[in-house]
Amino acid sequence: MSSVCVHGLGYIGLPTAAMLANYGHTVIGYDVDEELVNDLQAGQITFDEPGLQAFVTEALESGNLEVSDEVGPAKYHIIAVPTPFDEEAKVADISYIEAAGEAITPHLRPGDSVILESTVPPGTTVNTLQPVLEESGLAAGNDFALIHCPETVLPGNIITELRENDRIIGGVNGVSTEAAVRLYESFVEGDIHTTANATTAEFVKLIQNTYRDTNIALANELAQLARDYDIDSREAIHLANQHPRVEIHQPGPGVGGHCLPIDPWFLGQNSDNLDLISTAREINDGMVDYIVDLVGSTLGTLAGKQIAILGVAYKGNVDDIRNSPGLEIARQLQSLPSDTATPISADGGQEAGIQIKLHDPHVQDQTLDLDSLADATDDADAVIIATDHEEYTEIDPPKLKSRMGSKLVVDTKAILEQSTWEDAGFTVIRI
């Protein structure tokens, strides 16, 4: 077992630190956010992830995990900090990576290993992180190991996927790669694949998510085409997928989370060869406008209407609102030039126009004005289901019908039993 310092205690860093601690490693979990550190030192996690609270508690109580706002020396340093995205320039902000490297440098010793897990543009490990670390006077690949090992987990199932998913490991040389393999072999039950270099490992993570984003874009365009022919896109996709060489994903309201809407752009940060990939991004981002237009054309007008958006998390049964399609739909409704809409922030006032109500049974974000399900749907002219939370499959159609004005439901995730809702008097549009 080894000593490990995990830099960044968010959606990836905290579960990783707890995993390593629960497998017997001595772990320092480091973060610059003092409030977060204080909460974790008190044993309280700050985001909703099934099983994580108990998992972190176990790690803390074992004494193997220490949470700190100071970096300590360690055999392994794992960087799991964010890589914010500049939406206008379509580039990654790698300043957090640089800052993590600067924090490690004073503590770096011969024989140590630095592993970058953050998702980054190709070349970041060797072109950005390596020069920062070598300010220590040590040489990457000779005096210390330097590796990229991308995380590949899905919120809602992080603990299981940390343990069971395959891992891709690419070091700046073979010695570096072998050092990282030894650490991950201590808890990873999936296969460990090694690459010739760190840049390949960075590229692999990005193309995994780009494949999914591009496939979803195909499904979203097919959904729009299917509507032109008055057929059910999901039935058509299901039947098409019976072919052994076809695997089309499912359409929806757009793509959310931290990875899929962003990672494809990272591929082109140092290249001019994005074409199909950028078009796929435009299709997926355009689903918000498509849904708003659907609601408006079905109702006849959006002026003076009340719209309930059910689900502001980007995916079902989690509280993660990063790049949420539901929130983007709300913002688009709010920004329509011909109407004045209620703000979606809790500190905003209200004026006449489109009334936007938000509900989510998992999200507790205090910056959002979230209503109860009853308050959100009272007198609503349309309900847009933007997230496939299990709770929404349990809604009683007759009870909802008695509260609503118009009876329109736009089911962007196809989670409702369409015939049941139509029998109850609803117009149901599925994406």
Which of 77, 66, 126, 128 lies closest to 106 in space, CA to CA? 77
* CB crowding 307-318: b at 16 or more within 10 Å, else e: bbbbbbbbbbbb
How long, in residues, is the chain?
431
What is the phi/psi pair of residue 184, to 5°? -70, -25
**Quick check: 340 and 333 in contact, CB under 8 A?**
no
Task: Give which of 76, 69, 72 is closest to 149, Cα–Cα.
Answer: 76
Give the count of beta carbons closer than 10 Å to the beta carbon of residue 417: 12
CA separation for the pair 148, 29 (Å, rounded): 19
Q: Between β-strands 306-310 and 167-171, what pairing exists: parallel, antiparallel or unpaired?
A: unpaired
The CA distance from 246 to 228, in Å, is 23
Dihedral sign for Cα atoms in the order 13, 15, 20, 26: positive
Looking at this protein, which amino acid is placed at residue 402?
Answer: S
Query: Who's near 187: CB < 8 A, 6+ residues apart?
Result: 19, 20, 23, 162, 163
Token digits of residue 187: 């808890």
Tokens found for residue 213: 């984003």
Burial label for 297, CB within 10 Å (0-12, 13-18, 19+), is exposed
- Strand-pair partners of 291: none
User: Which residues are part of the catalytic machinery?
Assistant: 205, 259
Residue 151 CB: number of other CB atoms within 10 A? 21
